[in-house]
Structure 1
Amino acid sequence: MAHTPETEAKRRRTFAIISHPDAGKTTLTEHLLLAGGSIRAAGQVRARGENRRTRSDWMKIERERGISVSSSVMTFEHADLMFNLLDTPGHEDFSEDTYRTLTAADAAVMVLDAAKGIEPQTLKLFEVCRLRDIPIITFINKMDREAEDPLALLDEVASKLQLDPSPLYWPAGSGNRFRGMVELTTGLFYPFTKRESGADYDQGHEDPVPLAQAVTAGLLDAAELAEVTETAELVAGGFKAFDVESFLEGHMTPVIFGSALRHYGVNQLLAALGAYAPPPKHVKAEKAGVDTAIDPGDKEVTGFIFKVQANMDPNHRDRIAMLKLTSGRFQRGMKLKVQNTGKQLSVNAPIMFFASDRELAEEAFGGDVIGIPNHGVLRVGDSLSETGIIRFQGLPNFAPEILQRVRVKDPLKAKHLKKALESLAEEGVTQLFRPAIGSDFIVGAVGQLQFEVMADRLANEYGLECVFEPSPFSEARWLSGTPDKIEDFAGKYRSAMGTDLDEAPVFLGKSAWEINYVAERFPDVQFQRTKERG
């Protein structure tokens, strides 16, 4: 088969993993890489000391706390398909980073804790997927622990998410009684073998047997066989059969049960992703100001920046812009133009990611994610193409919920602080505001954990001991309107004015009440909670 942009794009499966914190998302990421043959032993997320080798959580603070607070990209090839796995932050304080990462995903795996079902953060992330019509595969994790009734879990998916759950497999028990699961369409029973986390798993250790032979094979006793047979028949008749079109339209979710920690059900999940997750789709764009749709098989190389990450390599002050390719055959050394600035880049050292490991990408196609090293030239939301006239919809910045003042303990390092804050703000996880009066920097974030992460990174990556203090402001709004109206307003409220990283005017309010009061007095100026860049 010829390696054309069209045929190669059809081989791509770019998906994100979403979940509530502690549902097992990072562990599942590790074991998908293991199932795909990319690593020989999965990292132990909750292990201690030198045994903690989680590949996707590469930041120091992530490894220490066993949480994901950054978006990682991992590429691996399996069964003649190229998978791009986007591991998103699970913590709600980093929901904006997750939102942007989901713009690059064509499908999502929703991980549910079998004992807890749908939790608040899962619900929020699902709504983002629904807004973008992203089809979802559900993986119900931790079946090797005591779990809710599987029927109740499916009912919860149906009622809370308005999705038709369609189980592809059905479990036999849970916790100490977990024996495995039966594939509903074939009647094959996949036994559960408890293996220690981090072992070198044999790809075929789940070799199935017909359910009727599970007793003679010593996998189930007679009572367990009767129970799983009866329930499987009930489920097969009570839930809609899996329909690929309904799944791709976002109306149905196939459901797989398993235990990521024990590498059970992971092979089946990877097979389902390969079989059902869509290849890259058409992407709406403007071409020289005219609405169009970019087809993944188009010859021109196009894409957009959805993430910027600084200091992935602590030995270098690197800055990697993550580019989701939407069409064409990209080759190392190509020249691409940035639509909104007109700058031309020679992409001589593009990167394929494997968590913090990387290798040069000689070529890539629509659906792939590559990293472009740069020194502040590329920002989140930028559109890149060979002609420079393609513009994709910009990615929004959201108004922060907490504003804090930051200062460095050593006043001689004030200039270094400015560069470090700008570098971290360019990643898009936090906002940086410079008040018109005074020399303070104001950092805006969604939640308190972001400030803790920023303080940790400033210390470890930049050698800056910093203190975050309460700010006199609690709200930030971007201003829009005619230049004369904004200038008139800024003159009257100079003490509350500031600029963001792009020098865009921002009103810094002491309260939501103040912002509403001021907005009523100046109807010709818009006070916006979001700002689109790109």
Structure 2
Amino acid sequence: MTEKDILKKEVEKRRTFAIISHPDAGKTTLTEKLLLYSGMLTTAGMVKGRKGRKAAASDWMAMEQERGISITSSAMQFSYKDVIINVLDTPGHEDFSEDTYRTLTAADCAIMVIDASKGVEKQTLKLFEVCRLREIPVLTFINKMDLYGRNPIDLMSEVESVLKIDSYAMNWPIGSGKEFQGIVDRKKKQCQFFLRTPKSGSQKTDIITYPLDSEETRSKLSEMEYKELLEEIELLELAGNSFTTKDFLAGKVTPVFFASALINFGVEFFFDAFIHLAPCPHKRKANLIDGKEIEIDPVKDPFSGYVFKLQANMDKRHRDSTAFIRICSGRFEKDLIVKNTRLKKKIRLSRPHGMLAGQRTTIELGYPGDIIGVINPSFFAIGDT
């Protein structure tokens, strides 16, 4: 296998995405549950191998922990079912929206989290428009189905009317609020029933799967509930939009998933669908110093990357600043010497690191889609390539 073949294989394994939402829609909870299902957490709220840690893994700064909101765009990498995940946990609060806008430039797709009781909110709309402008495909995660909220069909209609995009339900909720007990996998025509336990939310949820038209499914529901469920599924088939991966990647349709991140109902279904739908790193447009626009191929072109964020006080033991760099092409190696096109100066990228819950991990190798942090002794500015 040649170096290009290895590079191509590594690129195809990667999914780099941002999570966008209005404050308190459950974005940080969803990020944490991805860590739980990837095996990075032993129980939700506790980083694997670090005892006594109660704060959410992505809300690592003191102010975030104090206020319960995501402020900095933590960049975390981990594996999920043979796929390398690079997740950018972006701020939802308006005070920090500029940071979110910049972070979206580093993402290949986005997950939009919507509160089932509130629908599309102000900040969600703003961030979705940025995704549209940057041609970033968006998956929709309708959260908090374990609380009584709005009708699922009304929520999908609002997504279409407010965001001006077609929607397609990949699953359908079985009940809502306290009666939320499962989802229908529309493609497989199967029902996934979740088992509620005292530990629901802190550990992976046990699931029982039955065919939609089976006696087992009928026995789980009342006659009226089963009839209504079939009618809703039939309505989606007859009057709903069609879905193709091509249309999703082109930003014409958003796949919709109903779930509860808090109690893990529908979460694994969403993650499994996400790794198959989300694009791997692809060609990105860039401008030369003379203004000429070019395309950078992640496999064919040599190493390139750009700075999308600067963050001070990443490590309270050191008064330093970190530059976050999105790798666009080629292979990164520790101590690689690169040229900063703005300064027209060669710089050694020493001590590169990744982040998980504020803890630095040294990076030896990096590939397109990966986010690396390098100590910034005033060499870098946002937008540097």
Using the size of structure 2 for normalisation, the TM-score is 0.93
SS in 1 for 2:324: strand
Structure 1 match to 2:307 = 305
1:266 and 2:258 aligned:
no
More off after superposition, 118-127 vs 191-200: 191-200
Opposite residue 157 of structure 1, the aligned amino acid is V
- Per-residue deviation at 1:320? 1.2
- Name the counterpart of 1:163: 165
**Structure 1 pair 132–214 and aligned structure 2 pair: CA distance change class (3 A):** farther
Tell me the secondary structure at the aligned position of residue 40 of structure 1.
strand
d(CA) in 2 for partners of 1:92, 1:38: 30
Which whole-Å CA distance do the structure 1 matches of 2:53 and 2:339 have between them? 44
SS in 1 for 2:41: coil
Q: Which residue of 1 aligns with 2:202?
A: 199
Map 1:128-527 onto structure 2 (within 5 A).
Answer: 128-195=130-197, 196=199, 199-201=202-204, 205-213=206-214, 215=216, 218-287=219-288, 289=290, 290-383=292-385
Corresponding residue number in structure 2 for 1:104: 106
Indicate if the aligned counterparts of 1:214 and 1:220 stay in contact, CA closer than 8 A: no
Q: CA deviation at 1:51?
A: 6.7
SS of match in other structure, 2:235 = helix
Q: In structure 1, which of residues 58, 61, 83 is the aligned counterpart of residue 60 of structure 2?
A: 58
**Structure 1 residues 362-400: Cα deviation after superposition (integer angstroms, max 9, x where no partner):** 1111111111112221121111xxxxxxxxxxxxxxxxx
Look up the SS of the partner of 1:212 in the other structure. Answer: coil
Higher relative contact order (CA 8 A, sep 6+): 2
Q: CA deviation at 1:190?
A: 0.9
1:67 to 66, 69, 74: 69
Change (3 A) 1:351 1:207: farther
CA–CA distance in structure 1, aligned partners of residues 43 and 271 of structure 2: 17
Give deviations 1:15-68, integer Å, cap 9, x for gaps: 100000010000001001112222221228xxxxx7732110111111111111
Number of residue pairs matched by the alignment: 376
Match of 1:92 in 2: 94
Q: Is the 8 A contact 1:5 1:298 kept in 2?
A: no
1:81 CA drift (Å) = 1.4
Give the SS at the match of 1:208: strand
Task: State the alpha-carbon separation in 2 of the partners of residues 335 and 350 from structure 1.
Answer: 12
Q: Residues of 2 paired with 1:364 and 1:84: CA distance?
A: 12
* Bigger shift: residues 282-291 or 327-336: 282-291
Q: What amino acid does structure 1 have at the position aligned with 2:99? A: D
CA drift at 1:304: 0.4
Asked whether the equivalents of residues 182 and 266 of structure 2 are also in contact (C-alpha less than 8 Å), the reply is no
Q: Which letter maps to 1:382? A: D
| Aligned equivalents of 1:308, 1:296: Cα separation in 2 | 24
Change in 2 beyond 3 A, CA 1:340/1:14? same
Partner of 1:39: 41
Q: Could you report, residue by residue, the CA deviation over 1:161-217 in whole angstroms, capped at 9, with x for unpaired residues? A: 111110011111110111211011211101133344652325xx1242112336468
Q: Structure 1 residues 33, 240: closer, same or farther in 2, change over 3 A? A: same
Distance 1:376 1:177 in 2: 55
Mark the structure with the bigger radius of gyration.
1
Cα distance in 1 for partners of 2:215, 2:380 equals: 57
Preserved CA contact (<8 Å) 1:144 1:174 = yes
Query: In structure 2, what is the Cα distance between the partners aligned to 1:295 and 1:137?
Result: 25
Are the counterparts in 2 of residues 179 and 219 from structure 1 also a CA contact under 8 Å? no
Are residues 77 and 51 of structure 1, via their aligned partners in 2, closer, same or farther at CA, if it must alter by over 3 Å? closer
- Shift, 1:266, TM fit: 1.5
Unpaired segments ≥5 residues, structure 1: 45-49, 384-534
Instruction: Name the stretch that deviates more: 61-70 or 18-27.
Output: 61-70
Within 2, Cα distance between the matches of 1:370 and 1:197? 34
**What corresponds to 2:49 in structure 1?**
none
Residue type of the alignment partner of 1:200 = Q
Deviation at 1:4, TM superposition (A): 2.6
Match in the other structure for 1:402: none
Please say if residues 77 and 356 of structure 2, whose CA atoms lie closer than 8 Å, have aligned partners that are also in contact: yes
Question: 5+ unaligned residues in a row in structure 2: which ranges?
Answer: 47-51
1:231 CA drift (Å): 0.9
What is the one-letter code of the residue matched to 2:239? G
